[in-house]
Amino acid sequence: MPDVDGRRRDLAAMIAPLQRALVAAEQPVLRAHGLSMWGYVVLDALEGQPVRTQAALAEFVGADKSRIIGVLDELENDGLLERPRDPADRRARLVTITGEGRRRHRAVQAEVQRGEERLLGLLPPADREALLRSLAVLADELPKLD
């Protein structure tokens, strides 16, 4: 139901502090596993859809294509991904997560989500599931707007 006076808080006003807290909680986990925030985001994207061109990958994770290169360099250096030339179009590089990358990503994700449970545990189970479901819908539908 809407608030009694018909007004509610902005979505952004509620999401912003939540986002800050989640990022702050992730930081030590990432550091412990030797990953940067962007590195983790990239691995996360690569586990989903298969391969992509680097520009598309950058746009997908919401980063600038000129700034994602350093991230890929590091991940490649650590053996977490490979990016051979695409034989079909040798300008492009086929960014692929490695087995080690997948392992690292899952380890971090498991630990991150264990942390998030502290928050989600505050909600009644039905609301918790509705929240996760709704966020997934919104995140998926966003690109289709405009």
Partner DNA sequence: GCATATTGTAAGCACATGCTTATCAATGAA
Partner DNA sequence: TTCATTGATAAGCATGTGCTTACAATATGC
Q: Which residues of this chain interact with a second copy, rule CB under 8 A? A: 1, 7-23, 26, 41, 44, 62, 109, 112-113, 116, 118-120, 122-123, 126-139, 141-142, 145
Query: Cβ 130 to DNA, closest distance in Å?
Result: 30
Binding residue for DNA, selected from 22, 25, 92, 120, defined by CB under 7 A: 92
> Which of a second copy, DNA, none does residue 65 bind to, with CB < 5 to 8 Å depending on kind?
DNA
Query: Cβ 124 to DNA, closest distance in Å?
Result: 32
d(CA 95, CA 57): 9
d(CA 57, CA 44): 11
What is the longest distance spanned by two Cα atoms in the chain? 62
d(CA 104, CA 70): 19
- Site residues (CB under 7 A) for DNA, limited to 53-72: 53-55, 62-67, 69-70, 72
Tokens for 34, please give them: 């030797």
- Site residues (CB under 7 A) for DNA, limited to 105-144: none
Query: Cβ 34 to a second copy, closest distance in Å?
Result: 18
DSSP string covering 44-99: HHHHHS----HHHHHHHHT--TTTSHHHHHHHHHTTSEE-PBPSSSTTSB--EE-H
Residues at the site binding DNA, with contacts judged by CB under 7 A: 37-38, 53-55, 62-67, 69-70, 72-73, 83, 89-93
